[in-house]
Chains A and B, each alone.
Chain A
């Protein structure tokens, strides 16, 4: 569960992205974070992993304020999949996913049997078990994205954040990926939040939608959000003008 308590986010005092925002993202739900370019979607996600300082307020993950956690403790609470395309040649998918076990392994990253099991299971969950021994340099964007998600799963965190996971993917892959995320949230009681520009996907696949209309954030169940008119207001007004 992620609790945003009266947070303000921005760069200096000139560019305020969010002001005095409170919201709760529960376990077992998938939330789509939508908003226009530059509205602060990525900044909010970075704030939740502690990479972006808050101007005000608190972020509480499963009862613990992120201010009071070390990088290692945080790594056991929340996993993050960035927009960065990572392709490491000479490293098998299995080894990339194994890096996700870092918060649990010893100083040199020695894998125990349990770690190996989690790694293979994570690859299976994203349907990439056949790629375990292949390297990422010869894989498609969608396949790489799945491997990076498997890595996040191997971290075994109650919370997973993804920054625009659907960009670079074609339409069937986008839906497939979002269904996969929704499945994970429901079956494993994870709290999954991802930013996206795909309004249709957000509406049809996610449980709740958080919409950033700087400096406010509206967070409603998907159905309610669709009927609220906020989305139209934010995305269509300029178009009609």
Chain B
């Protein structure tokens, strides 16, 4: 590792810490840093303060970091696998799968007259989203065993997700206002709806996804030259594709299930990391993207709290100019 790389990692780590603390400070009510620290180390503080700090702000900041890491790492994997700078975590339809699950849960059940079925409602929005994205992955994985050309898989994934979106629209069209509003709010994304018990699911799933992503670092580096070259250098293409898909679903699928679809982070962060570190080696790029992802989503969360707007609008407004700039500046990015 060069000096520049080490320096960048150090700066980003410090930035992550600073923004994490800043994220705890920003909110509807002002809480002094002293009280935040007190609540965190378990000192005697006012119970409302403790609740706000631990259950709301701390939880949200942790979720922001996890979501940022997960979306960026999965986006990076998709960009390399498909050798396409416009690929992102949602390119295979993970978010449309999740939204179909949620649409059926929020919109479809009232239509079918199932309102108070406790067995079904215990799945929750998150469970429904997760099932939706897992089904999409199963379909893509099944298709990819039969198809040699990775570009065909990309096109199928995009077509399939458009088809799923159409089904979601039908459900939206048929639904009543109340159900429709809660669905639309889900699609805007939220980092604040994760409960402590959900975090116990979110953390291990994302952790497993990250372990898998580390295991495919070498395959990803070989895939920079395309699948044909990768194969002649001894890569088992089928196995690598599976692992990459699985990792992406665990990362992006889980985050989407709990936070809703958060756009542009997974697409923009890998580009930012490539440019910052000027390196395409995934041994550097993967941790770099993870760090940048955490930093950027914390920043977006602070802005969204400040302006009291949904997180998705902030990530899009910040992400789009970055992607445009990257594409204009550099034509051969991936």
Chain A window 84-99, contacts with chain B (Cβ cutoff 8 Å), 1 for yes, 0 for no: 1011111100011001
A99 touches B280 (CB 8 A): no
Stretch at the interface among B149-157, B173-181, B218-226: B218-226
Q: Which A residues touch B224, using CB under 8 A?
A: 88, 91, 99
- A168 to B235 CA separation, bound complex (whole angstroms): 28
CA A79 – CA B229 in complex, angstroms?
9
- The 8 Å CB contact of B283, one of A75, A88, A108, is A108
Distance between A73 CB and nearest chain B CB, rounded to angstroms: 8
A49 to B278 CA separation, bound complex (whole angstroms): 33
What separation, in Å, do the CA atoms of A70 and B232 have in the docked complex?
11
B interface, size bucket: 20 to 34
Q: Is the CB of B235 within 8 A of A89?
A: no
- B218, B229, B236, B333: the one contacting A71 at CB < 8 Å is B236
Q: Which residues of A contact B332 (CB under 8 A)?
A: 87-89, 137
Given contacts A88-B280, A91-B281, contact A99 B221 (CB under 8 A): yes
Tell whether, in the assembled complex, residue A99 and residue B232 are in contact, meaning their CB atoms are under 8 Å apart: no
B204-245 with Cβ < 8 A to chain A:
214-215, 217-218, 221-222, 224-226, 228-229, 231-237
Q: Indicate whether A109 sits within 8 Å of B234 (C-beta atoms), given known contacts A89-B330, A89-B333, A95-B281.
A: no
Min distance, Cβ A48 to any Cβ of chain B, angstroms: 10
A84-B233 CB under 8 A given contacts A89-B332, A99-B222, A137-B332: no
CA of A73 to CA of B231, assembled, Å: 11
Least CB distance from A125 to B in Å reads 18
**What 0/1 readout, one digit per residue, does chain A (153-172) give for beta carbons within 8 Å of chain B?**
00100000000000000000
**How far apart sit A102 and B219, CA to CA, in the bound complex (Å)?**
9
Say yes or no: is B60 at the interface (Cβ < 8 Å to chain A): no
A109 and B221 contact, CB distance less than 8 A: yes
For B215, what are the chain A residues with a Cβ–Cβ distance below 8 Å? 107
In whole angstroms, how far apart are the Cα atoms of A49 and B232 in the complex?
7
Q: Is the CB of A80 within 8 A of B232?
A: yes
Cα–Cα distance between A49 and B330 once the two chains are bound (Å): 34
Contact of B57 with A by CB under 8 A: no
Q: Are B279 and A75 in contact (CB under 8 A)?
A: no
Say yes or no: A86-B229 contact (C-beta < 8 A), given A99-B224, A102-B218, A109-B221: yes
Q: Which residue of B lies closest to A84 (CB)?
A: B226
Q: Does B274 count as interface, using CB distance less than 8 angstroms?
A: yes
Asked if B217 and A51 make an inter-chain contact with CB atoms under 8 angstroms apart, the answer reads no
Shortest Cβ distance from B210 into chain A, in angstroms? 14
Is A57 on the interface with B (CB-CB < 8 A)? no
CB-based nearest B residue for A72: B234
- For A105, give the chain B residue with the smallest CB separation: B218
Contact status A108-B218, CB under 8 Å? yes
Taking A90-B278, A90-B279 as contacts, is the C-beta distance between A155 and B233 under 8 angstroms? yes
- Chain B residues with Cβ below 8 Å from A78 are 232
Q: How far is the CA of A76 from the CA of B233 in the complex (A)?
A: 8
Give 20 A-B contacts (CB < 8 Å), ordered by A residue.
A51-B231, A70-B234, A71-B231, A75-B234, A84-B228, A86-B225, A88-B334, A89-B280, A90-B279, A91-B279, A95-B280, A95-B281, A99-B224, A102-B234, A103-B233, A105-B218, A107-B215, A108-B214, A108-B217, A137-B332
Chain B residues engaging chain A, CB cutoff 8 angstroms: 214-215, 217-218, 221-222, 224-226, 228-229, 231-237, 274, 277-281, 283, 330, 332-334
Known pairs A86-B225, A89-B332 / 7 extra A-B pairs, C-beta < 8 Å = A49-B232, A51-B228, A71-B231, A79-B232, A86-B226, A102-B235, A109-B218
